[in-house]
Amino acid sequence: MSTGHILLGLLTERPKHGYELKREHDERLPGAKPLAYGQVYATLQRLQRDGKVAVTGTAQESGPERTVYEITGEGTADVHRWLTETEPPAPYVSSPLFARVVLALVTEGSAEEYLLRQRAAHLDRMRELTTRRSAAGASAGEVLAADYALHHLDADLRWIETARQRIGELTKEIR
C-alpha cells in the first residue's frame, strides 16, 4: 500500500497539514499500522518534489505553525489512476507462519507445538476483534477493519490445520 497515494486521497477533500493527515489516516483506516509523523512529512516532501502536492500556506492552531498542503492536478490524476488499478495477489509465499513451520522442523525436528501456540494466539486475537466489532459505538470503519482481520485470521487457522495434517510429509521432505 502506498502511503503517498493514501495522503493524496485524503488531500482530495481540502488542503491539510501533516498532523491532520496523520490523524485522519489513523482514524479512517482503523486497524492499519499508524503512520509516524516523520513518515508523513517525508512523504509530503517527496510528493511536493514530484509536483503532486503544493504548499498553500501555514496554519497555527494551538501549537506550532504548520505547513498546509493541497493536491495538484497531477496528484489528483495520480490518485485516481491508482484507484483504478487492481491490487495484484501476492506472487510469493512470504508468510512468517510458513517460514517458522519449516524452520521449526529444520532446527527442532517438530513444528506441532509452534502450530498449537499459533492457533491459540489466532483464536485469542479473533475473540478480541469480535468483541471490538460488536462493541457499542464501533464505527462502520472499525467494523469493516475487524471483519477484514477476522477473515485473514480465519484463513490462517485453516492453513494451520492443513499444516498439522501435512506436517509428516513435510518432515520427511526436509530430512
Residue ending a domain, choose from 84, 106, 141 = 84
Residue ending a domain, choose from 63, 84, 105 = 84
Specify whether 74 is located in the same domain as 111: no
Q: Are 9 and 75 in contact (CB under 8 A)?
A: no
Specify whether 21 is located in the same domain as 62: yes
In tens, the pLDDT along 69-126 reads 999 999 999 999 999 888 777 666 667 888 888 888 887 778 898 999 999 999 999 9
Residue ending a domain, choose from 84, 110, 127 = 84
- Report pLDDT for 60: 76
Of 14, 68, 149, 22, the C-alpha closest to 6 is: 22
Across 140-160, average pLDDT: 93
The pTM of the full predicted model, rounded to 2 decimals, is: 0.73
The sign of the CA dihedral 111, 112, 117, 123 is positive
Q: Which domain holds residue 10?
A: 3-84
Q: Which residues contact 142 (CB under 8 A, 6 or more apart)?
A: 30, 31, 132, 133
